[in-house]
Amino acid sequence: MNQQPSSRSERRRHRRRQLLIDAARQVIANKGVASLTISDVTETADVAVGSFYTYFADKNELIEAAVWEDLQRLGDPNLPELQGQPPLNRAQIMLEQTYRFVEKHRHLMQAVFGPGSTPDHFHRGLSLVEARVAIGLRLQTQLPDEAISWLSALLAGMLVGGIRYALTHPETTVPEMTARTMRLITPLQTLIGTPPAP
């Protein structure tokens, strides 16, 4: 995570950089990652094109910041409130956190999982979700690596499907999406909670 800027000039620089990141997310949500241009971003942010390069080396660096900096917080399996929770409680808390993240960062999630996303971004997002699920399973179960590998891939696909549904159905609330997904996950409790066979 970036450290908080301390001086007035650093805070101003941080605000201007964040303005460009927010504008990039807006452009991505409207046009997709592949169609994003620096001029679109600077126009949306009402920032001079020349000053863009004070904050980012190129478009790819901006996309990295706009899409992936915040996304690292998605489904964080190390949240303090998860410690000591049984598997299903842990899953419910992580699901709610994930769907709240989707609700709060709709532009960002559209960039990764929406119709305007690139295959590279979609795959990277899916891999991130899969890795988070695998970490959660390792922290909470005694499953062997082989079981964690296929189970985390299966659950990640289901979660990304839930994210895509939440993006296209904004009227569906976070508690509704959490409850629906939990109904699918709950039958797996016997597998998730079972130690590996000898």
State the CATH number of the domain containing residue 62. 1.10.10.60
130 contacts 43 by C-beta, under 8 angstroms: no
106 contacts 163 by C-beta, under 8 angstroms: no
pLDDT given for residue 192 in this prediction: 61
Tokens 């990141």, located at residue: 21
Give the number of other Cβ atoms within 10 Å of residue 78's Cβ.
10
Residue 195: inside a domain: no
In whole angstroms, how far apart are CA 191 and each of 51, 140, 152? 55, 12, 12
Residue 27 backbone phi and psi in degrees, to 5: -65, -45
Chain Cα centroid distance, residue 4: 22
Domain co-membership, 76 together with 163: yes
Q: Quick one: pLDDT band at residue 195, thresholds 50, 70, 90?
A: very low
User: What is the pTM (predicted TM-score) of this model?
Assistant: 0.76
Domain co-membership, 151 together with 173: yes
Domain co-membership, 172 together with 82: yes
**Is residue 130 scored above 90 in pLDDT?**
yes
Counting the structural domains of the chain, the total is 2
Domain boundary pick from 34, 50, 70: 70
User: What CATH number did the domain enclosing 145 receive?
Assistant: 1.10.357
Residue 12: inside a domain: yes
Q: Quick one: pLDDT band at residue 166, thresholds 50, 70, 90?
A: very high
User: What average pLDDT does this structure show over 124-135?
Assistant: 92
Domain that holds residue 16: 8-70
Residue type, 155: L
CA distance 16 to 165: 33
The region of weakest confidence among 4-8, 63-67, 96-100, 191-195 is 191-195
**Is residue 5 scored above 70 in pLDDT?**
no
pLDDT given for residue 198 in this prediction: 39
Domain co-membership, 20 together with 99: no
Residue 145: inside a domain: yes
User: What average pLDDT does this structure show over 1-20?
Assistant: 79
